[in-house]
Amino acid sequence: MNRRKFLKRSALLSGLLALNPIDTFANTDAKSISGTKGKAKNIIFMISDGMSSGTLAMANLYSKNVLGRSTNWMNLYTENKVSRALMDTASASSIVTDSSAASSAFGGGIRVKNGTLNIGANGEKHLPIWQEWKKKGKKTGCVTSVTITHATPAGFCINSSSRNAEPEIAEMYAEIGFDVMMGGGDEFFNPLKREDKKDVYETYRQKNYQIAKNKSDLQNIKKNKPLLGIFNTGALPYSIDKVNDKSFQNTPTLAEMSKTAIDQMKDHDKGFLLQIEGGKVDWAAHANDIPALIHDQLAFDEAVKVAMDFAEKDGNTLVIITTDHGNANPGIIYDADATKKFESISNYKFSNEYLLNSLHSDFNLQQIKDLVFEMNQFSLTDKEALELLSFYNGLEKEDGLYNYKKLPYKLFSEIQKKHNSVGWMSMDHSSDYVELAMYGPGSEQLKPFVKNTDVHQIMQNALGK
């Protein structure tokens, strides 16, 4: 080889290796993002947490084949209403991010280590965008289907060295004074459930917040007062379970919470910033729970419609629709009857979580088979029923991020795969390049491939910073 060419190639390779490997293939920076032609008064930032591209595709296929219509998100593509990109989701510590680092990339504009919220490598605090613009006079809020103190809403709002500091995060929100906060997490506000017995609800009441505990409460709120809506201990129920279990029917949907939040803030003369998170999409992916995944993605899609209906009428709102990372990479696997098998998911009455919590160690094999048939409309073999029962007799236990009851999620998803043709790569986050769509003033800044931190700068440009 020519020595000069060899040295030139060696220098190029050395330069590439000197770069942070997490950033090698996502080398945009704030300077490369041009200023916006349009200025946004409002921003609605929508995150379907843990949504791999397969989740988006399956929800749309289910909606088309079973419900007879495409999803609102996919209609934005087919009608050419949005700018669209792929996004690199890495954190400062890994090419596979967690939700706290991913949200901090959006909220604080920097990549931080997994597990932290807007705290840099040397302990420095980066001001989250919702807090920054709250101080400048805009109204700010978050709604989610998980705990309102969870990583994704927190990443837009506060600084913390630990995403798990949810009791403290509940107090931070009150101190900062966000205008609308809705989701689950009663255990972080209720003195009967907090370890320190502190009544955080009372803290909010003293700051003139109105407290909503169910869907009926939302019909009686006043627009001139800030709102805290806490609708469950832990996360809200899965959407499919809310539909089919009457005990959940006074729990608001993500779309209902989103509409309430917009209505509460839309008349403010300085505008508003709202984050909407379909947080249980991520939890369903962790559990390989296909009925929960599809129906919570569709619930998120209904919230997309709420946001877009407002933005198209308003004309001054930037809508951002994306995810923070992939999870489990589900997809439909080839089979001669793949279409029919996939559509059989319409027979599932409840989430896998609900079904598996309904099984007990004292069930006999026939009782297990009867319950699965009632809820999923397919028949287990005796061997499959016995394998499921072994988990409840303590012979086997299955781990998982949100699997505190050690339910046999993986085993049951493998059984279901024979009947619905849905396969899963894992039960955890992945490093996918993910979907990102933008509508409204500021969306013209979006390039075909960006880093998650670039979205922060696009928002700042659109707001006129």
Which residues does the annotation place in the binding site? 49, 150, 152, 277, 282, 286, 324-325, 429
Nearest to 208 by CA among 186, 226, 189: 226
The residues that bridge with 140 in the sheet, in sequence order, are: 273
Is the CB of residue 379 less than 8 Å from the CB of residue 373?
yes
Annotated binding site for Mg(2+): 49, 150, 152, 277
Is the CB of residue 268 less than 8 Å from the CB of residue 139?
yes
Nearest to 275 by CA among 173, 130, 407: 130
Q: How far is CA 98 from CA 114, 187, 339, in A?
A: 6, 23, 33
Nearest to 45 by CA among 99, 107, 118, 90: 107
Distance CA 214, CA 282 (A): 23
- For the chain, how big is the Rg over CA atoms in Å? 23
99 is catalytic: yes
At residue 459's C-alpha, the angle toward residues 101 and 35, to 5°, is: 130
Distance CA 233, CA 370 (A): 31
Grouping H, G, I as helix, E, B as strand and the rest as coil, residue 120 is coil
Nearest 10 degrees: Cα torsion 286, 291, 295, 300 = 10
- By the 10 Å C-beta count (0-12 exposed, 13-18 middle, 19+ buried), 442 is classed as buried
Is the CB of residue 360 less than 8 Å from the CB of residue 137?
no
Distance CA 265, CA 263 (A): 6
Find tokens 């995150």 and name the residue.
47
Active-site entry in 99, 100, 145, 413? 99
List, by residue number, the catalytic residues: 99
